[in-house]
Amino acid sequence: MDFSKVAGKNNKHKVVLYALSTCMWCKLTKQFFEENNIEYEYVDVDLLEEKEKEKVRKYLQEKGGTLAYPTVVVDDVTLITGFRKDELKKVLEL
């Protein structure tokens, strides 16, 4: 699966964003990372092939997540669903 990488000075944590290309809350999440110089990678799930969408579903559900977007996975462990600024700040130590 191709993730788009966005460079940033702050690469303390591995940040992966599962997003939808049409979703404004996902756009706000991307903006938030960029404003805070967070290095992250993302995938717009709606633009993926069916097989890959299914992989995302399995992955998120195995991680105990829901299927709502945006979902941010920090360091492969912490899942944050929805654009929850306070939670993101806490986990990313901002």
Partner 1 sequence: MTTIEAVKQRAEADAKTFGYYLTPDPVFLQGLLEGLKRNEERYGYPSCPCRLASGKFEYDRDIICPCDYRDPDVQEFGACYCGLYVRKDVYEGKTQLLPVPERRPIEKQARAYGTQLVETSSQHVPAAPKQEISKEESARQRLWYCKQCGYVVFREEPPYICPICKAKREMFVEIRAHLDFSG
| Footprint on this chain of partner 1 (rule: CB under 8 A) | 20-27, 45-46, 50-51, 53-54, 56-57, 66-69, 81-84
What 27-31 contacts at long range (C-beta under 8 Å, 24+ apart), as own/partner pairs, is: 28/83, 29/70, 29/72, 29/83, 29/88, 30/6
User: Could you give the CA distance from residue 59 to residue 40 in angstroms, rounded to a whole number?
Assistant: 18
In whole angstroms, the minimum distance from the beta carbon of 21 to partner 1 comes to 8
Q: Which is nearer to partner 1, 5 or 57 (CB)?
A: 57
In the complex with partner 1, the residue whose CB is nearer, 9 or 24, is 24
- Whole-number minimum distance, CB 13 to partner 1, in Å? 21
